[in-house]
Amino acid sequence: MARKKTANTTSALEMESSVPPIVEINYVDPLFTVAAHPIKPIIMAGLGTGHLYCHSYNAESLEETVQNEREKAELKEKNSTKVSISSIKKKWWISMDSLDLESTGDFSTNWKTKRHKGSCRSVIFDILENSTGDFIYSVGTDHIIKRASTETGKVTAKTSVSNHYDGKDAITNMCLSSTHPFLLTGTENGHVLVFDSHELSSKKLKFKLPNIHEDSINKILPMPAISAYHYLTLGSTTLAHIDIRKGVITQSDDQADELLSMCYATDSINANKNDTVLVSHGEGIVTLWKNSNNGLADQISRVKVNKNASIDAIIPTMNEGVEDLKDSVWCGDSEGILHRVNYKKGRVVETRVHSSVMGKLGGMDEVGGLDIDYDYRLISSGMDGLKIWSGQLEKDQQGVLDDDDDLDSSVDDSDDIHSGSDSFFDNTGLEGEEEEEDAIIPNKDENDSEEVGFDASEGSEDEKSTPSTHSTPQIVRKKRTDITVVMKPKKRMIDINKITRSEQPLESGQEQQKKKQKKVKTLVPNNGIAKFDGL
């Protein structure tokens, strides 16, 4: 039986946006990692079985379908607009199982393959200027990094990393430089290994930085505005600034809390600065760091998001066209809730529900990953599946209220923060014995699959593998100019005294009783500091 929702979860649902997803894809096997193509409507999905899926979608058509179905639903039920997105019984957006996807349609599978033995832990797109999105890099618990063509899925290079660390270690995530052929990998034991992405098959290690953190490397972030050799790493309870040639430059104070993910603010990215960093914590908060302030030695402020959950993922909105979005980041927590945090206002301004099904420990599908697609749409993913959210916006009415208004304050109104669940999932150890590794399957007909080659000796087989007939449109990144704004109804202030005031005077006993009833608890500013009278 589902557990009763906590007070924080209920408060978050009260702030739920009316923006719906345009598509929802469910996977039979655990979904471990998702990456969005930087300039095309393509998504890569890595599973716990080692499989890799390449999906493409027609965003404009999906947006139109959702809008039409929503209008039909509102005509059938007059109060449908008052029902939250998460409580809708009949979904009017596309919801499909990954096994049912064809090679054509508004959301389709271009190809799929058994890429790794065990689980696929991380997949990322190439971001070099001359080859943006042309290649993908993936790594699994088999300790092998593979580079493949995005269009066909053919492996073009691979390397084993097991010789560069202890056999009990494993890679947790990867990061690419946008200016140099540097591929950085973080391991469970806190090491950082750097490879040459152009010479991956050479098996040579470019740089090795041991023991950057005491525990697993949770995130690596490049610092191109400073140098192609400078990066930020997150692990255990500290944030480190490293030079891959020399080692640690600075390391933060111990935060006494697990640091799970981080990102730059949107305005810092657009201004080509790496100054403002936002970090998500295991105890349900997001902290603000500034390199120009104290050299990233410690946080300078914090925003309370959900004290009953860990904030496992965080990403900037990347949309500079809207002021409120420019100052916001998206966060995903272990209760399956998405929060848009305006870090300049210091509060949560919007929520969405990734997992509307509640279990014993909260949302059945925790938010494990977030990404932004080529047109600034939010993509959320968990172990069960992924959602692509509509690009329309909802007017935030809380932005016009004072910061001292307790009714529209942050979800958490207490300074008592409890630890949430851990974000990283361990290796499942699943192996597909019946399916040949790296056999590309363009569609549901597995008889057409071909073995993918890795080197010159296997080059003849590389030529045999053919991609899906489904062609992906060449769409470039653009600014949104046609934005739909959903307005919330304005609130009218009512003077209760005028309504209840009687024309005839009350008797003395009744008047004394009325005064006693009007004594209520005084509201205090919701700034995270408890106020105690008489101390």
- Cα 338 from chain centroid? 9
Least confident of 10-14, 200-204, 329-333, 375-379: 10-14
Structure tokens at 384: 């069960």
Least confident of 2-11, 177-186, 417-426, 433-442: 417-426
Position 379 pLDDT exceeds 50: yes
State the pTM of this model.
0.75
pLDDT of residue 395: 53
pLDDT of residue 423: 36
Say how many CA atoms lie within 13 Å of 272 toward its Cβ: 5
Q: Which residue has the higher pLDDT, 321 or 292?
A: 292
Chain segment 380-438, per-residue pLDDT in tens: 999 999 999 999 877 533 333 344 344 334 434 434 333 333 333 333 333 444 467 78
CA angle (373 as vertex; 368, 379 as ends), nearest 5: 30
pLDDT of residue 86: 83
At residue 509, φ and ψ (nearest 5 deg) are -65, -45
How do the domains of the chain map onto residue ranges? 7-486
Position 377 pLDDT exceeds 60: yes
Dihedral Cα 161, 163, 165, 167, nearest 10 deg? 100
Nearest Cα to Cα of residue 171 among 210, 122, 220: 122
In our burial notation (b when 16+ CB lie closer than 10 A, e otherwise), range 182-200 reads: bbbbbbbbbbbbbbbbeeb
Contact 42, 109 (CB under 8 A): no
Nearest Cα to Cα of residue 29 among 327, 412, 342, 430: 430
Residues in the chain: 535
pLDDT of residue 33: 98
What 237-244 contacts at long range (C-beta under 8 Å, 24+ apart), as own/partner pairs, is 238/213, 238/214, 239/277, 239/279, 239/289, 239/296, 240/212, 240/213, 241/291, 241/295, 241/296, 242/192, 242/209, 242/212, 244/182, 244/184, 244/192, 244/194, 244/206, 244/207, 244/209
How many Å apart are CA 36 and CA 24, to the nearest integer? Answer: 15
pLDDT of residue 88: 83
How many Å apart are CA 79 and CA 392, to the nearest integer? Answer: 21
Say how many CA atoms lie within 13 Å of 99 toward its Cβ: 3
How many Å apart are CA 503 and CA 151, to the nearest integer? Answer: 79
How many Å apart are CA 437 and CA 50, to the nearest integer? Answer: 9
How many Å apart are CA 180 and CA 131, to the nearest integer? Answer: 12
Q: Which residue has the higher pLDDT, 4 or 157?
A: 157
Q: Which residue has the higher pLDDT, 219 or 493?
A: 219
Q: Which residue has the higher pLDDT, 46 or 203?
A: 46
- Please give the CATH superfamily to which domain 7-486 belongs: YVTN repeat-like/Quinoprotein amine dehydrogenase (2.130.10.10)
pLDDT of residue 509: 52
How many Å apart are CA 451 and CA 153, to the nearest integer? Answer: 11
Per-residue pLDDT band for 443 (boundaries 50, 70, 90) equals low
Rounded mean pLDDT of the chain? Answer: 79
How many Å apart are CA 159 and CA 195, to the nearest integer? Answer: 10
Which amino acid, residue 410?
S
Per-residue pLDDT band for 48 (boundaries 50, 70, 90) equals very high
Please name the residue that has the structure tokens 């500091």: 529
Position 357 pLDDT exceeds 70: no
Structure tokens at 119: 């689980």
Chain segment 199-247, per-residue pLDDT in tens: 999 888 999 999 999 999 999 999 999 999 999 999 999 999 999 999 9
- Cα 341 from chain centroid? 13
pLDDT of residue 75: 81
